[in-house]
Amino acid sequence: MRGKLVVGFKARDEQRAAWLSCQWLFLVMIILGIGYSPRANAQLINQYFPSELPGYSSDATGTVSLKEILLNQHPGIPVGAYFLKPAASQQFGYNTNILGAPHTAGPMFITNASLGMNSNWTRHAIGASVSVANQAYPTLAAAGYTDWNASAGGSVDLGRDVASLGYSHAVKHLYATDLGNFGISYPVPYTSDDVRLSYRKNWTRFALIPSAAYDNFSFGNSAGTLPTAARNTALLSHQLETQMLQGRFEVSKGNAIVAILRGSEAQYRTKPGVVPSDYIGGGGFLGIDLRSDPVLQYRAMVGGETRYFTRGGGRPITTPTAELNILWLPNQMNTFTLTGQRGLFDPTSPFSRNQTMSTVSLLWDRELRRDIIFHGDIGLSRTDSRATQANASALQQTQSKFAASIDWLFTRDLKLTVQYSHLSSYMKHGIPAVLATGNSRATFTSNTFTFGISFVR
């Protein structure tokens, strides 16, 4: 899942309010691309392990990345009973392989801006956000694109319980170098609309959270500079209904057991002569959330997922699912984060009908000086896309990455970032992408250098 704004609960005390403010700021930083944030599907752990539980949130302020935020808190601009939170960034750089194909190197300009509004009420809460991100390549104009998102939502405090409703509309693009996007050459635009409703029933240590979501995805055509380079992805358009039931039991402060049941149904756009691959799916997951230890914290989840195709003749898919997130804080200057994931692509992924993904990454954050933070990241990912026909070969893609960046917080509102990233990709039985400079290759490498300045208030 690429990032969506989720309106959380209204804080009931100052400590929780400060923590939620930091989370909001951290989300803005990710949206603006500050530091290294690869395009990837969101982990289930990030969706199902809430950190805002009243009275049980662990103290994670020792992490280097969070200290970077806490030292420069941005409460926003007060306007009556609301807070406005503007943010913007500008990056300049060079990419040696923009589209994963020969002769596509060139300079790049990345511009991001966002404006959020959160209420400052005592009980209930509403919020809204709008963001825009533009990537421009002066020597390869067809590779440029603009994403934007608008979201709104709110929650109602019902005493011990909370009901929430949210909506978001986004315009995004499939990109050639993203994991699992087979056959994509130039960026392919698509729109998404998401509506979700949830109810949280709280007891002393137990919470039950039923929720439902509706998503609608509409895919368009890539432009390119040659008629043969354009690709029509309209058949990826689909609507998705998801139902979930989450249970969370607090064993002790900061430590919990989490259980999730999820069902989903997808209906794809029809075309004469083509049978859509509609499916129904289900999954069950059991996890632990151990965050009370100030030095070593664990989040782990295991389970299974299955997907049955109701039309199109696709073979059913059943696969185990496992995820792990380990946070190690050996001292106040260093933080190490290990994450791993194996399972079906998130159902909101455009190629989610028959793909499984495995990924592992290690992130190192080090505070070099009070206002200078180093970030290092290495990772390996693989996707397997099973063929819908029994005699066809499966599509495979493996990507490895390395990235390093340095942030300099030279004022309360401004930050300079220098970044380098490397990406290597290998594809087996893939679909060649057609470009004006030639066809894409099974193997490509990309090196990106950027320098940027960001503002967050």
In order of their start, the domains of the chain are 14-456 (2.40.160)
DSSP class of residue 101 equals: S
Please tell me which residue, 230 or 59, carries the higher pLDDT value: 230
For the ranges 83-97, 166-180, 434-448, the lowest mean pLDDT is seen at 434-448
pLDDT value of residue 51 = 36
N- to C-terminal Cα separation, the chain: 27
Cβ–Cβ under 8 Å, residues 154 and 6: no
Among 25-29, 64-68, 233-237, 302-306, the minimum mean pLDDT is found in 25-29
- What pLDDT sits at residue 14? 36
Q: What number is the average pLDDT over the span 246-260?
A: 91
Gap between the Cα atoms of 174 and 178, Å rounded: 8
State whether the Cα torsion 393-183-175-129 is positive or negative.
Answer: negative
Residue 317 pLDDT > 80: yes
Q: Where are the beta strands (DSSP E) in 232-371?
A: 238-252, 255-268, 279-290, 296-309, 317-331, 334-344, 355-369
pLDDT class for 3, splitting at 50, 70, 90? very low
Burial 173-194 (b: 16+ CB within 10 A, else e): bbbbbbbbbbbbbbbbbbebeb
pLDDT tops 80 at residue 52? no
Between 273 and 30, the higher pLDDT residue: 273
Query: Residue range 94-113: average pLDDT?
Result: 92
For residue 230, the model assigns a pLDDT of: 61
Cβ atoms of residues 400 and 424 within 8 Å: yes
Rounded percentage of the chain residues whose pLDDT exceeds 70: 75
Question: Residue 363: its pLDDT value, please?
Answer: 95
What's residue 59's pLDDT? 39
Parallel, antiparallel, or unpaired for β 106-119 and 125-136? antiparallel
Question: For the segment 189-222, what is each residue's pLDDT rounded down to a tens digit?
Answer: 999 999 999 999 999 899 999 999 999 999 888 7
Q: What is the mean pLDDT of residues 160-186?
A: 86
- Mean pLDDT lowest among 80-89, 114-123, 302-311, 346-355: 346-355
- Secondary-structure breakdown of the chain: helix, strand, coil percentages, each rounded to the nearest 5: 10, 55, 35
**pLDDT tens-digit map of 55-75:** 223 334 445 554 454 445 566
Q: pLDDT at residue 35 above 60?
A: no
The pLDDT value given to residue 443: 82
How far is residue 435 from each of residues 136, 383, 414, 428, measured CA to CA in Å? 18, 23, 39, 19
Sign, CA torsion 88/50/153/353: positive
Task: Report the pLDDT averaged over residues 269-298.
Answer: 87
Q: Mention every residue, 6+ apart, whose C-beta is less than 8 A from residue 439.
A: 101, 432, 433
CA distance 395 to 346: 18
| Confidence (pLDDT) at 131 | 94
Q: Is 390 helix (H, G, I), strand (E, B) or coil?
A: coil
Residue closest to 186 by CA, chosen among 282, 100, 106, 69: 100
Q: Report how far residue 267's alpha carbon sits from residue 238's, in angstroms, rounded to the nearest whole number.
A: 5
pLDDT higher than 90, residue 90: yes
Distance separating alpha carbons of residues 99 and 172, to the nearest angstrom? 17
416 exposed, middle or buried (CB, 10 Å; 0-12, 13-18, 19+)?
A: middle
Rounded CA-CA distance 187/134 in Å is 12
- At 421-455, the pLDDT tens digits run 999 998 876 555 544 445 556 688 999 999 999 99
Which range is least confidently modeled, 125-139, 188-202, 212-226, 357-371?
A: 212-226
Q: What average pLDDT score do residues 254-280 get? A: 87
Q: What is the pLDDT of residue 224?
A: 59
452 vs 110: CA distance, rounded Å: 9
Please tell me the predicted confidence (pLDDT) of residue 302.
93
**What is the pLDDT, as a whole number, of residue 347?**
57
Distance CA 166, CA 424 (A): 38
